[in-house]
């Protein structure tokens, strides 16, 4: 693909969990390719991601995935300006595959190396399809491992407003899905089944933490669903799984929406975005949109393919670091518990 001298092209790699992904991103927001090899089928039999298996599969797939990303973008390594990679948080063995690969390519091809925080990648996914979106804005990040309310003050400048005290929203979806026999990964399956159910059928709790209203807690909700299922079993009542899915999902969505809108109003931001796997939930998207419109807040969300794990979002986040002059050294390591905004 023809390259203008000023164009910045980044080869991005993402291997923090069970997706082996590579992408080529131009000037931050133009995705030239976005290749994802999902390992979901491999982990389904175990009911969740098995870290050791994930790492082994990443090793096997990473080179073909990168080659496909380069060829689909129509670029050679020579035409790349930097190699970006997720270096945390995530499964450490899985992260190490991507980090070692990125270092080897950058070292061999003499390119800049940029380590990216996985969640900062999720947030940056919003820039891809909303060319006009610029900070400041408030972003709800809801994924399998994280539920955060993040104030994006500027590119790469983040303040955590709220976080989960226990389970992440996606984790609650996965656990409830398992309890009602839907299997892994639970989010998309609950989302689908909920469409056939009545969201007002069962009243599940919506937790609010008194001393910190922006924080989340989903473990009580998860226990309430399990208790409900147990009680039905003990009383010999047949469970309507669609009603359970719809009522549980509604409880999660109410909490996510209310906390986000309340925080946006209090802080005084007029732009709200959502990110992470749970952000692909159809009901969350429509409820959040409605709530934002009512309060004259502009609402942004990525397409589902940019909500779940992908490397394009890593390339986008890396671009804003690149133009600031951020570079990592050859000693870049994987950090399983890397904090948002932390630079190591
Ligand atoms: O962002 P992601 O792909 O990986 C992490 O960084 O964790 O998020 C995966 C999570 C899983 O818990 C999955 O069940 C959830 O996102 N998820 C959904 C939907 N699609 C994926 N949750 C609710 N509704 C969905 N449609
Ligand atoms: Zn993720």
| pLDDT one-digit tens code per residue, 226-257 | 999 999 999 999 999 999 999 999 999 999 99
According to DSSP, residue 339 is labeled: P
Q: How far is the CA of 325 from the centre of ligand 2 (A)?
A: 25
- Please state the separation of Cα 80 from the chain's center in Å: 25
Given this model, what pLDDT does residue 45 score? 87
**187 C-beta closer than 6 A to ligand 1:** yes
Given this model, what pLDDT does residue 94 score? 98
Q: How far is the CA of 190 from the centre of ligand 2 (A)?
A: 18
Under the banding of pLDDT at 50, 70 and 90, the label for residue 65 is very high
Reduced to 3 states (helix: H, G, I; strand: E, B; else coil), residue 128 is: helix
Closest to 10 measured CA to CA, from 228, 322, 229, 268: 322
Given this model, what pLDDT does residue 258 score? 97
For residue 79, give both structure tokens: 């035409």
Under the banding of pLDDT at 50, 70 and 90, the label for residue 342 is confident
Average confidence (pLDDT) over 80-86: 98
What would the pLDDT profile of 145-201 be if each residue is shown by its tens digit?
A: 889 999 999 999 999 999 999 999 999 999 999 999 998 889 999 999 999 999 999
**309 C-beta closer than 6 A to ligand 1:** yes
Given this model, what pLDDT does residue 61 score? 98
Given this model, what pLDDT does residue 47 score? 84
Q: How far is the CA of 144 from the centre of ligand 1 (A)?
A: 5
Q: How far is the CA of 16 from the centre of ligand 2 (A)?
A: 8
Tell whether the model's pLDDT for residue 3 goes beyond 80.
no
Given this model, what pLDDT does residue 48 score? 86
For residue 53, give both structure tokens: 């298996």
Tell whether the model's pLDDT for residue 300 goes beyond 90.
yes
Residue 275, H or E segment: strand 271-275
Rounded to two decimals, the pTM is 0.96
The number of C-alpha atoms within 13 Å of 151 and in the hemisphere containing its C-beta is 15
Q: What is the CATH topology of the domain spanning 9-125+307-322? A: Nucleotidyltransferase; domain 5 (3.30.420)
Tell whether the model's pLDDT for residue 282 goes beyond 90.
yes
Closest to 39 measured CA to CA, from 47, 28, 49: 49
Which ligand 1 atom is nearest residue 90's CA? 6
Tell whether the model's pLDDT for residue 104 goes beyond 80.
yes
Which ligand 1 atom is nearest residue 282's CA? 26
> Cα separation of 208 and 218, whole Å?
10
Ligand closest to Cα of 218 equals 1
Q: What is the mean pLDDT of the chain?
A: 96
Mutation to probe ligand 1, out of 277, 281, 336 (largest number of atoms < 8 A from CB): 277
Domain boundaries for CATH 3.30.420.40 within the chain: 9-125+307-322, 135-300
Name which CATH class applies to 135-300. Answer: alpha beta
Tell whether the model's pLDDT for residue 1 goes beyond 80.
no
> Cα separation of 321 and 117, whole Å?
11
Mutation to probe ligand 1, out of 116, 145, 245, 308 (largest number of atoms < 8 A from CB): 308
**308 C-beta closer than 6 A to ligand 1:** yes
Among the listed ranges 42-46, 269-273, 285-289, 298-302, which one has the minimum average pLDDT value?
A: 42-46
Q: How far is the CA of 324 from the centre of ligand 1 (A)?
A: 31
Tell whether the model's pLDDT for residue 2 goes beyond 80.
no
Given this model, what pLDDT does residue 110 score? 97
**278 C-beta closer than 6 A to ligand 1:** yes
Q: How far is the CA of 72 from the centre of ligand 1 (A)?
A: 26
**281 C-beta closer than 6 A to ligand 1:** yes
Sign of CA dihedral 92, 94, 96, 99: negative
> Cα separation of 54 and 66, whole Å?
17
> Cα separation of 281 and 190, whole Å?
9
Given this model, what pLDDT does residue 140 score? 98
**277 C-beta closer than 6 A to ligand 1:** yes
Q: How far is the CA of 140 from the centre of ligand 2 (A)?
A: 13
């Amino acid at each position: 693909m023809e390259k203008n001298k000023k164009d910045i092209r980044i080869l991005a790699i993402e291997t923090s969990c069970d997706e082996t992904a590579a992408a080529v991103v131009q000037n931050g927001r133009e995705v030239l390719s976005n290749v994802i090899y999902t390992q979901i089928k491999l982990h389904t039999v175990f009911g969740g991601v098995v870290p050791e298996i994930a790492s082994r599969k990443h090793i096997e797939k990473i080179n073909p995935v990168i080659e496909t990303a380069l060829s689909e973008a129509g670029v050679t390594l020579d035409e790349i300006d930097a190699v970006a990679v997720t270096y945390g948080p995530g499964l450490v063995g899985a992260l190490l595959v991507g980090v070692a690969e990125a270092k080897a390519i950058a070292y061999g091809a003499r390119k800049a190396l940029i380590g990216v925080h996985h969640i900062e990648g999720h947030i940056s996914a919003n820039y891809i399809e909303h060319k006009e979106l610029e900070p400041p804005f408030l972003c709800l990040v809801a994924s399998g491992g994280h539920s955060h309310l993040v104030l994006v003050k500027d590119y790469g400048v983040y303040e955590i407003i709220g976080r989960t005290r226990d389970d992440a929203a996606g984790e609650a979806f996965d656990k409830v899905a398992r309890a009602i026999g839907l299997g892994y990964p639970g989010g998309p399956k609950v989302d689908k089944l909920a469409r056939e159910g009545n969201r007002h059928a069962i009243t599940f709790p919506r937790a609010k933490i008194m001393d910190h209203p922006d924080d989340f807690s989903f473990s009580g909700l998860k226990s309430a669903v399990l208790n409900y299922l147990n009680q039905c079993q003990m009383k010999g009542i047949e469970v309507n799984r669609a009603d359970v899915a719809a009522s549980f999902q509604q409880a999660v969505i109410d909490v996510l929406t209310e906390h986000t809108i309340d925080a946006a109003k209090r802080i005084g931001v007029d732009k709200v975005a959502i990110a992470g796997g749970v952000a692909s939930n159809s009901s969350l998207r429509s409820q959040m949109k409605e709530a934002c419109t009512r309060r004259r807040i502009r609402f942004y969300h990525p397409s589902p393919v940019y909500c779940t794990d992908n490397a394009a979002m890593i390339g986008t986040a890396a671009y804003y670091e690149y133009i600031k002059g951020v570079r990592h050294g050859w000693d870049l390591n994987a950090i399983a518990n890397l904090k948002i905004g932390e630079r190591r």
